[in-house]
Amino acid sequence: MLKIPNISIKDIIYSLKTQEPDKVAIFIDKQKISRAELYHQIILCKKKLVSLGFKKKDKLLSLMDNSIDQIILILSCLSLGIIWVPLGKERKGIGLNYIINLINPKRIIIQNKKKINIKKKLNKKILLIKNLKDKFVDDKVKVKEYTNNISCILFTSGTTGPPKGVIVSDKMLITSAYATGLACDVKANDRFLLWESLHHIGGLEILIISLLKKTQLFLVKKFSARNFWKQVRKYKISKFHYLGGILDILVKQPSQKTDHKHNIKLGFGAGARKNTIEIFNKRFKIPLREVYGMTEASSFTTINFDRINNSIGKVLPWFKIKLINKSKNVGEIFIKEISKNVISKGYYGDKKSTIKAFKNNGFYTGDLAKKDKYGNFYFIGRKKDSVRIKGENISCWEIETNLNLHKDISESAILSTDADIGEEEMVALIIKKKNKNLSIKKISNYFKTKLNKNYIPRYWTFVDKFPRTPTLRVDKKNINISILKLYDSHRNIFLSNKI
């Protein structure tokens, strides 16, 4: 039976100097870091943090790109009992200031002061990473290691309201990494491309499983569709992790004769559409394994080991899933623990959201799914990412999947707006494929014959691109439909700033 390893992040760090210390652990550009060297850099960083006055439960907020420096900082904080709060370097404005006020970090560590938008009154808290690296440390500095109930606070992008900081424990990090290894059939000779941001659970779990299983990690600052396959071939990547819209982005790249030339044996991740999986598999000859999970529940809750079409798989043995408030066999995913402490204790400093999502000894995900008689789950969509039409909650994901099957549509997003009479109306935003002479009226009329009446968007428009979340999903909360010129298919007219 599968069982979560009884280890800690501190144990993994210690293993760097005792297990294959000379093996290269991380590659970035032309730099190579062995396991032993990584260990010694972590020890040095911990001494520097202690000499700066950091104590157990202090919070360190980082605004950094993926880098060796950030990896060393992460592992140092996690083993010292310092609460690590990572954000993307691009975070700014109201959202950033909201998080800083909520967290009240002891220090804010950054790479470049010129590119960070932080209020002047907080300047005294800012620490440049180069200043931390250059800091002299007395060898007599003593380091005490701790394990907190809170190892880190990971902020989700959210769909409504301010960002929520998920409280993540040491055990949750280990659990998410272990499940990652299961999902990709990890082997010691595997090579991972770490493109995910390290302020996201997807990046952290790849880092931790790589160190745990002594694989090799090739680190890049961020995902680049243009460079992705070059990187995969150059570094001979064997396992590929995807999130959100990554597969959609990759299949939009021009076809190449080299599409089949790579060493990837398996792709694994979440959020891929059925037609995208089929196109990706056929073009790149990479089998894909879907999973399901959320940061709040140690990242992975189900894995589709048998690669059953359109399924997110069966529940892992340390969880139990119930489908609640079911209608036509579809219900909200409610996750309960079988093993202790694999579900978050809530959202930091947000009692209202915590009470709403974490109750009845489990976690209400807000995701909809159905289950077959064999125990396989099938993702339907976000409960909130739906449109209420004539008393029926219609999944935006389902409509988008149908729209994206059109040969001339590259991508779509469904949003809602208040109806003149009734509950809501559906708005379809379309990105058409390049060099396609396509009219919005023609698209609207086409889908009148392909979708059920309540499933047909009323308003339609073309857009050039969508805003994206850190996992490259369409960031719907940052789409302002009120400024768009929309086609009203009910009245056969174009509206300007109507909604």
pLDDT tens for 239-271 read 999 986 788 889 888 899 999 999 999 999 998
Q: Do domains 9-370 and 388-496 have the same CATH topology?
A: no
Structure confidence at residue 156 (pLDDT): 77
Residue at token pair 């379309």: 430
Lowest mean pLDDT among 141-155, 193-207, 348-362, 449-463: 141-155
Most confident of the ranges 62-76, 132-146, 445-459: 62-76
Structure confidence at residue 117 (pLDDT): 66
Residue 162: pLDDT band by 50, 70, 90 thresholds? confident
The residue-averaged pLDDT of 455-481 equals: 87
Structure confidence at residue 142 (pLDDT): 79
Share of residues in the chain with pLDDT > 90 (%): 64
Identify the H or E element spanning 429: strand 424-432
Lowest mean pLDDT among 159-173, 246-260, 278-292, 294-308: 159-173
Domain residue spans of the chain: 9-370, 388-496
Structure confidence at residue 112 (pLDDT): 79
The residue-averaged pLDDT of 326-338 equals: 93
Query: Across the strands, what pairs with 430?
Result: 412, 462
Residue at token pair 């069966």: 314
Across the chain, mean pLDDT equals 89
pLDDT tens for 405-454 read 898 998 999 998 887 655 788 999 999 988 778 899 999 999 988 887 87
> Taking the CB of residue 240, how many other CB atoms lie within 10 A of it?
24
pLDDT tens for 186-216 read 999 999 999 999 999 999 999 999 999 999 9
**Has residue 174 got a pLDDT over 60?**
yes
CA dihedral 471, 472, 475, 481 (to 10 degrees): 180
Burial class (CB within 10 angstroms; exposed 0-12, middle 13-18, buried 19+) of 417: middle
Contacts with 398 (C-beta within 8 Å, 6 or more apart), sequence order = 380, 381, 455
Identify the H or E element spanning 97: helix 93-103
More confident residue, 272 or 166: 166
Residue 46 phi, psi (nearest 5): -60, -40
How far apart are the C-alpha atoms of 181 and 293, rounded to whole Å? 15
Give the domain 388-496 fold.
GMP Synthetase; Chain A, domain 3 (3.30.300)
Nearest Cα to 290, choosing from 490, 301, 178? 301
The residue-averaged pLDDT of 219-248 equals: 91
Residue 93: pLDDT band by 50, 70, 90 thresholds? low
* Residues 425, 419 contacting (CB under 8 angstroms): yes
Show the tokens assigned to 243. 């999130």
Kindly report the pTM of this predicted structure: 0.81
**Has residue 474 got a pLDDT over 90?**
no
**Has residue 365 got a pLDDT over 90?**
yes
Name the percent of the chain in helix, strand, coil, to the closest 5.
Answer: 30, 30, 40
The residue-averaged pLDDT of 350-374 equals: 93
3-state secondary structure string, 254-299?
CCCCCCCCCCCCEEEECCCCHHHHHHHHHHHCCCEEEEECCHHHCC
Contacts with 289 (C-beta within 8 Å, 6 or more apart), sequence order = 183, 184, 266, 267, 268, 303, 304, 305, 307, 313
3-state secondary structure of 445: helix
Structure confidence at residue 393 (pLDDT): 66
The residue-averaged pLDDT of 35-52 equals: 95
**Has residue 380 got a pLDDT over 80?**
yes
Burial class (CB within 10 angstroms; exposed 0-12, middle 13-18, buried 19+) of 333: buried
Structure confidence at residue 244 (pLDDT): 64
**Has residue 78 got a pLDDT over 60?**
yes
Q: Indicate the CATH number for domain 9-370.
A: 3.40.50.12780
Structure confidence at residue 463 (pLDDT): 94
Residue type, 36: A
Residue 303: pLDDT band by 50, 70, 90 thresholds? very high
**Has residue 296 got a pLDDT over 70?**
yes
Cβ contacts of 94-100, under 8 Å, gap ≥ 24: 95/162, 95/163, 98/162, 98/163, 99/61, 99/155, 99/163, 99/165, 100/61
Contacts with 132 (C-beta within 8 Å, 6 or more apart), sequence order = 45, 48, 49, 52, 73, 109
The residue-averaged pLDDT of 371-390 equals: 84
**Has residue 472 got a pLDDT over 80?**
no
Structure confidence at residue 372 (pLDDT): 95
The residue-averaged pLDDT of 142-157 equals: 82
* Residues 410, 432 contacting (CB under 8 angstroms): yes
Residue 153 has what DSSP assignment?
E
Structure confidence at residue 273 (pLDDT): 77
pLDDT tens for 4-21 read 999 999 999 999 999 999
